[in-house]
Amino acid sequence: MDQVPTVTRLAVVSDVHMREAERESIEGELRATVERFEAFDPHHAFVLGDLIEDETAALDREHVEAVYGIFEDAPFPTTFLLGNHDVENLSRAALAEALGGQPRFGHVEVDGRDVLYLDSSAPRLPGARGEVGEAGLAFLRERLPAVEDALLFVHHPIGYYDIRENPWFGEFPERAFLGDRLELLELLADTSAVRATFGGHIHETRATTFRGIDHAVVNAFSKELPDVPLTGTRAEVVVGSDIEVDVYERDRRVESFVLG
């Protein structure tokens, strides 16, 4: 009898933007999202950066801990990436402490599948720009030979998307994409180790194939548009022979697509 291929289920949220003005509604929706994920029964969850909307160091620390605490109570493990807002008022050391000591770059084996994640927060750069830097590239050079069909998670997008109509970045595309994505893509081109990448940051859900790799970005959980404070966006990713992605706003499925 043929063996049934196993699938790996990943839960994804990006750009929570926890902030004082909307804290109660964001916390409530985030708890509801964790409950919805429980029905999906993921092997692992990933929160793809911009956990907070930078306000003050004290509030930012409180808000990071609030996001972490909601997922800490979930019946599945969660990995947190950093985004540009997270490092405006807090050091990476303070963020690592608030997030349970998680490293900036990591390799997680999820149900036997390789998942890599990188910190693109780049506090030395102004505005919303990001990069993984030489430390991130060095981490990949070391790990890529040891992984196969891996997924790669980064806050800033690695693929190319036409964002001319994007209200956040349409006029400033240099702030939308990973600053050193060319160097990262050239590194990935030397190996077939990475199957697809996932990001956030641009407050849209999109999928593309770029430089021979499939890429996707997940819309913001909150602050999708200046006049939309909360969407409750989440993605449920099923990895098997294909990568099936269903994106929801609360209980409503808004997009579905398949990556190779």
- At the topology level, CATH places domain 8-259 in Purple Acid Phosphatase; chain A, domain 2 (3.60.21)
- Find out whether 82 and 68 touch, Cβ atoms under 8 Å: no
- Find out whether 106 and 117 touch, Cβ atoms under 8 Å: yes
Identify the band that residue 163 occupies on the pLDDT scale cut at 50, 70 and 90: very high
Identify the pLDDT of residue 226. Answer: 78
Report how far Cα 236 is from the mean position of its chain's Cα atoms: 13
Q: C-alpha distances in angstroms, 1 versus 4, 5, 97, 194?
A: 9, 12, 49, 31
- If you average pLDDT over every residue of the chain, what do you get? 96
Mean pLDDT calculated for residue range 74-78 = 97
Identify the pLDDT of residue 260. Answer: 80
- Rounded-to-integer distance, Cα 107 and Cα 190, Å: 19
Identify the pLDDT of residue 251. Answer: 95
Q: What is the DSSP string of 78-105?
A: EEEE--TGGGSSS-HHHHHHHTTT--SS
Q: Model's pTM, two decimal places?
A: 0.96
Identify the pLDDT of residue 2. Answer: 47
Identify the pLDDT of residue 5. Answer: 58
Mean pLDDT calculated for residue range 62-74 = 97
